[in-house]
């Protein structure tokens, strides 16, 4: 079964799987996130997987910075070229270019380091309701748009629970700063002895709702929306920092907010917390954000 097969759900291992072509050269396939556009979170996750394949296991990913240059075609394979930019005593840096038809569609810089002992502090997680107390949004999606839901088999490889506005424990929303809180995890378990896979899985998950946060002043997330989209929305760049060990196959709270929208762009920031309230990762994304005029198709062109 291919990753975008409508007949069943792929595993997360399948979604992040890449083929070794040569030294520093890999190939993968990505499903669509929008019609005829490869899902950016999967492209970023496969790029990070490629980078990690060239780094000794003792070094763990601590950050990534990526730019989406062109929409990827989900009908074609993606080739990932890795540049081993630096291998220092503690840190290693890799640059990855994702290519289709000889053109770069995505670039990433990723940094890896050896773990070390140091002081520890973090922001406190808001005491929001847990995922077991919240409804499954996919049930409503299946009811309201069954054909679209059946074609999106990929979403059955993950779980998601939205914390509703007004829920106890939610911090007050600041003026001009829309926010959303979402519990996320992979549906099936991931190997506990593969920290790179855990990090790459979270990279994929981080792109599911962060872009929509920039448009919350105009419309809700897709799983809460019956009407057609009112905006053209596409990721421009994506950055993540991984602070502490975690498992992406266990529930993580993604606390997101958007402090700015202007000039056809939106900015969103988010933090991931595990069930014990440990801050495990942070993410920042800028999106192309344009309100659509009536009759204008929703899929944006390459920015």
**Catalytic center residues:** 207, 235, 285
* Pick from 120, 112, 190: nearest CA to 158: 190
At residue 107, φ and ψ (nearest 5 deg) are: -130, 150
Q: Determine the Cα–Cα distance for residues 213 and 209; give it in Å rounded to an integer.
A: 7
Could you tell me how many helices (H) and strands (E) the chain has, helices first?
6, 14
Handedness of CA 174, 270, 293, 142 (dihedral sign): negative
* Pick from 267, 207, 246, 249: nearest CA to 46: 207
CB-CB contact of 200 with 190 (8 Å) = no
CB-CB contact of 287 with 265 (8 Å) = yes
Q: Determine the Cα–Cα distance for residues 251 and 159; give it in Å rounded to an integer.
A: 9
Instruction: Please tell me the total number of residues recorded for the chain in this structure.
Output: 303
Find the helix or strand (DSSP H, E) in which 20 lies.
strand 19-22
CB-CB contact of 277 with 258 (8 Å) = no
* Six-digit token string for 303: 């920015």
CB-CB contact of 83 with 96 (8 Å) = yes
Which residues lie closer than 8 Å to 262 by C-beta, 6 or more apart? none
């Amino acid at each position: 079964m291919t990753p975008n097969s409508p007949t069943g759900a792929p595993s997360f291992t399948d979604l992040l799987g890449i083929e070794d072509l040569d030294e520093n050269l890999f190939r993968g396939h990505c499903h669509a996130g929008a019609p005829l556009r490869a899902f950016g979170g999967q492209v970023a996750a496969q790029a990070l997987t490629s980078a990690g394949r060239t780094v000794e296991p003792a070094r763990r990913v601590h950050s990534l910075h990526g730019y989406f240059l062109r929409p990827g075609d989900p009908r074609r394979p993606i080739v990932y070229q890795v540049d081993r930019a630096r291998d220092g005593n503690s840190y290693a840096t890799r640059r990855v270019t994702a290519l289709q038809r000889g053109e770069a569609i995505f670039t990433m810089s990723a940094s890896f380091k050896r773990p070390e002992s140091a002081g520890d502090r973090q922001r406190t997680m808001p005491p929001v309701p847990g995922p077991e107390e919240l409804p499954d949004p996919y049930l409503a999606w299946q009811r309201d748009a069954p054909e679209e839901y059946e074609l999106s088999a990929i979403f059955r490889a993950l779980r998601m629970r939205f914390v509703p506005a007004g829920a106890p424990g939610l911090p007050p929303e600041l003026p001009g700063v829309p926010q959303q809180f979402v519990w996320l995890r992979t549906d099936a378990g991931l190997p506990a002895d593969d920290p790179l896979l855990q990090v790459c899985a979270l990279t994929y998950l981080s792109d599911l709702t962060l872009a929509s946060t920039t448009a919350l002043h105009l419309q809700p997330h897709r799983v809460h929306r019956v009407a057609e989209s009112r905006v053209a929305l596409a990721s421009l760049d994506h950055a993540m920092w991984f602070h502490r060990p975690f498992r992406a196959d266990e529930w993580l709270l993604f606390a997101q907010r958007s402090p700015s929208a202007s000039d056809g762009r939106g900015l969103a920031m988010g933090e991931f917390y595990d069930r014990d309230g440990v801050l495990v990762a942070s993410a920042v994304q800028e999106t192309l954000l344009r309100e659509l005029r009536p009759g204008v198709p929703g899929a944006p062109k390459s920015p």
